[in-house]
Structure 1
Amino acid sequence: MGLDDEREFSYVEDSKNGPSNWGKIKPEWKICNSGTMQSPIDILNERVEVVSHLGRLHRDYKPSNATLNNRGHDIMLRWEGGAGSIHINGKQYQLKQCHWHSPSEHALNGKRFDMEVHLVHESMDNKTAVLGIMYKIGCPDPFLSMIKQDLEALVHTSNVERAVGIIDPKLIKFGSRKYYRYIGSLTTPPCDQNIIWTILRKIRTVTRKQVKLIREAVHDASETNARPIQPINQRIVKLYKPRVHEN
């Protein structure tokens, strides 16, 4: 997540514009290397604090006009109008876009999954909250099935943008009330920090073909577009579990 302006950085680990060098490419990206609250992280059970006070994730999404955008390092679906919002700590964050990484950027107890979608939200005062959902290989993901033709069209053309009509963000299924919460960063340059991350506990499913399509549509010749795991440092990760009566 981050820039719309591409090719300036890559995911090829030993290249001069690869992840370990992102902070050296531009002065305004230096936090990619020096920041102590970078994302993604490996969420380890022994570091997680189970809480019920965070409360259920309230999302108030609505169908809105959307555009598929090939950003050169990922495929982004951007909602043009108001696609609704989520509420975190009493603050409203408007849904702006979602995009996909493969393999997943976050890991659970050392394990990365096959894909991760990031739903990016912004508040009126320009704070960012990202919701991440991880996927393993299995049954098709209905949301990707729905936009399959539009994704395929991006593979065969050098068109960068494609209007896809009205898309309902609620069709990106959550499947669980449990979620992890921590403070991190954007996972692409400029790697801005103080991003509120919410990672759903449930691992959903996607087919191998769907993951391949998402990668092929990008045309970046890279096998992956996931940033390496970053040090957690002193951060606490919370796991929200509803109290029994809330179930």
Structure 2
Amino acid sequence: MRSARQLHHAVSALLLLLLLSSVVPADRAQQEIDDESEFSYIRGAKNGPENWGTFKEEWATCGTGQMQSPIDLSDRRASPSPDLGYLNHSYVPADASIVNRGHDIAVMFHGDAGSLSIDGTAYHLRQVHWHAPSEHRVNGRRYSLELHMVHLSAQNKTAVIGLLYKIGRRDHFLHKLEPYLMRMADMKEKEEKVGLVDPGEARGDGEAYYRYMGSLTTPPCDEGVIWTVIKRVATVSTDQLKLLTDAVHDGFEMNARPLQKVNDRDIRFFCPDDDHERYDAAADH
């Protein structure tokens, strides 16, 4: 009888051990999902933007790099460069998911969403995401929102198109994503498939743009990124901006990296119609 009782206790203990071993990895996985960000945008915080370069060894470029982004795109520094030519891009609708990455909201393309051609190299569109307020400034002015269209070449080189937004009429591209953004804010969902998404609608209007060499604006802040920032400012509604900021995790409602030093970098500017763009710039101020 005693040995039977001991056997029963041993089996019970073994079952409990197996149960705990199956629960721990799930809890750890959940913790890793919830503890999404090892960095923050809060100045003065241990993992704030001024400390990104010291927080992890592989992030050292955030502090030591000489070609960091974002920067102030000043017309006084920019060199007119008609040789840059019109942006050569060809976007197509592709299957996508909207993802809450904790520090931002991103649309990830799973199929071929088209590409951007720069100096004969094709950079394929991988994802788009938003920063509020804008990370880049134009002539010292910061805008309410900035969209980044992130492209990668076959050699894993990065090219990003940046679009700036001020408060005004609703943005057509964001309007189609509003139901998914609402669910992410209410239910804290991490990812949801949205079907076909046309990135051409995100690209918007405006042919004049700034071009410079910079970096990723989040750790590890890798340099060698070709930046193209569209001069024409689009509009986004107050409600749409609130949807984006409500959907991210607490502490990331403002997810814009501070301005970085320009140093000796060239800022080039392509403008097909000077008079028209000057009128647009004056209207923005």
Question: Which residue does the alignment assign to 1:201?
Answer: 231
Q: Judge conservation of contact 1:52–1:243 (CA < 8 Å) in 2.
A: no
Q: Judge conservation of contact 2:188–2:247 (CA < 8 Å) in 1.
A: no
Instruction: Quote the offset at 1:174 in angstroms.
Output: 2.6
Q: Judge conservation of contact 1:102–1:226 (CA < 8 Å) in 2.
A: yes
Q: Match for 1:89 among 119, 128, 132? A: 119
Question: Which residue does the alignment assign to 1:107?
Answer: 137
**1:96-131 deviation digits (Å, cap 9, x = unpaired):** 000000000000111100000000000000000000
**1:186-241 deviation digits (Å, cap 9, x = unpaired):** 00000000100000010000011111110111123333000000000000110112
Q: Match for 1:79 among 93, 106, 109? A: 109
Q: Does 1:118 align with 2:131?
A: no
* Percent sequence identity over aligned pairs: 47
Tell me the secondary structure at the aligned position of residue 45 of structure 1.
Answer: coil
Structure with greater proportional strand content: 1
Instruction: Quote the offset at 1:52 in angstroms.
Output: 0.6
**1:141-160 deviation digits (Å, cap 9, x = unpaired):** 01111110011111111221
Q: Match for 2:75 among 27, 37, 45? A: 45
Unaligned residue ranges in structure 1 (runs of 5+): none
Cα distance in structure 1, aligned partners of 2:236 and 2:273? 30
Cα distance in structure 1, aligned partners of 2:252 and 2:161? 25
Cα distance in structure 1, aligned partners of 2:201 and 2:81? 28
**1:24-79 deviation digits (Å, cap 9, x = unpaired):** 11100000010000000001111000111011101110000000111110001000
Q: Judge conservation of contact 2:208–2:270 (CA < 8 Å) in 1.
A: yes
Q: Which amino acid in the other structure matches residue 145 of structure 1?
A: H
Cα distance in structure 1, aligned partners of 2:212 and 2:203? 21
Question: Which residue does the alignment assign to 1:59?
Answer: 89
Tell me the secondary structure at the aligned position of residue 230 of structure 1.
Answer: coil
Cα distance in structure 1, aligned partners of 2:191 and 2:169? 28
Tell me the secondary structure at the aligned position of residue 173 of structure 2.
Answer: helix
Cα distance in structure 1, aligned partners of 2:53 and 2:244? 27
Q: Does 1:98 align with 2:128?
A: yes
Cα distance in structure 2, aligned partners of 1:100 and 1:58? 23
Question: Which residue does the alignment assign to 1:177?
Answer: 207
Q: TM-score, normalised by structure 1?
A: 0.95
Q: Judge conservation of contact 1:174–1:200 (CA < 8 Å) in 2.
A: no
Tell me the secondary structure at the aligned position of residue 47 of structure 1.
Answer: coil
Instruction: Quote the offset at 1:8 in angstroms.
Output: 0.2
Q: Does 1:165 align with 2:218?
A: no
Q: Which amino acid in the other structure matches residue 52 of structure 1?
A: P
Q: Does 1:152 align with 2:182?
A: yes
Question: Which residue does the alignment assign to 2:98?
Answer: 68
Instruction: Quote the offset at 1:243 in angstroms.
Output: 6.8
Cα distance in structure 2, aligned partners of 1:114 and 1:243? 26
Q: Which has the higher contact order (CA 8 A, sep 6+)?
A: 1
Q: Judge conservation of contact 1:69–1:162 (CA < 8 Å) in 2.
A: yes
Segments of 4+ in structure 1 off by > 3 A? none
Q: Judge conservation of contact 2:97–2:191 (CA < 8 Å) in 1.
A: yes
Tell me the secondary structure at the aligned position of residue 160 of structure 2.
Answer: strand
Q: Which amino acid in the other structure matches residue 86 of structure 1?
A: L
Comparing 214-223 with 140-149, greater Cα deviation is found at 214-223
Question: Which residue does the alignment assign to 1:215?
Answer: 245
Q: Judge conservation of contact 1:182–1:235 (CA < 8 Å) in 2.
A: yes
Structure with greater proportional helix content: 2
